[in-house]
């Protein structure tokens, strides 16, 4: 069975903000996988991309990367809450958001996050 990975906003912005080649790193860690993006994350990226500066650029790149993932529906309106809600339905969540990482680990969800400067690693709950 192919693992499912949910990506949050910070993960999809990693290529610009942290120099992480997100999908190359996921390939290295997992081999085959399915990537999903909660609808709230897609909406957050849309909103951020309308701003200015590096954050808007990173969000615009993230929005483009999100097209490589399947968008999924959920009940929650806030992106972090949607990822926690989806925790039972996915094998991993990839994020660079420390408070969200802690919430997910507390909920028993394995997290993929940055280790060092531009590599990803898996932390089990």
pLDDT tens-digit map of 82-121 = 999 999 999 999 999 999 999 999 999 999 999 988 899 9
pLDDT higher than threshold 90 for residue 33: yes
pLDDT higher than threshold 90 for residue 77: no
pLDDT higher than threshold 90 for residue 65: yes
Res 61: pLDDT: 93
- The pLDDT-based confidence of 39 (bands split at 50, 70, 90) is very high
Ramachandran angles phi, psi of 104, nearest 5°: -65, -45
**pLDDT, the chain, mean:** 94
- The pLDDT-based confidence of 42 (bands split at 50, 70, 90) is very high
Res 84: pLDDT: 94
State the Cα torsion 83-3-125-81 to the nearest 10°: 0
Res 93: pLDDT: 97
Tokens 């849309």 label which residue? Answer: 46
Quote the CA–CA distance of 12 and 65 in Å, as a whole number. 7
């Amino acid at each position: 069975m192919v693992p499912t990975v949910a990506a949050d906003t910070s993960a999809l912005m990693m290529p610009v903000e942290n120099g992480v080649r997100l999908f190359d790193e996921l390939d290295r860690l997992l081999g085959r996988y399915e990537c999903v993006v909660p609808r709230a994350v897609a909406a957050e990226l849309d909103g951020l991309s309308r701003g200015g500066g590096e954050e808007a650029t990173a969000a615009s790149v993230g929005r483009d990367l999100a097209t490589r993932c399947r968008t999924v529906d959920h009940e929650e309106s806030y992106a972090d809450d949607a990822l926690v809600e989806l925790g039972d339905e996915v094998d991993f969540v990839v994020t660079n958001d420390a408070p969200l990482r802690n919430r997910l680990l507390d909920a028993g969800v394995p997290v993929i996050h940055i280790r060092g400067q531009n590599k990803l690693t898996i932390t089990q709950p």
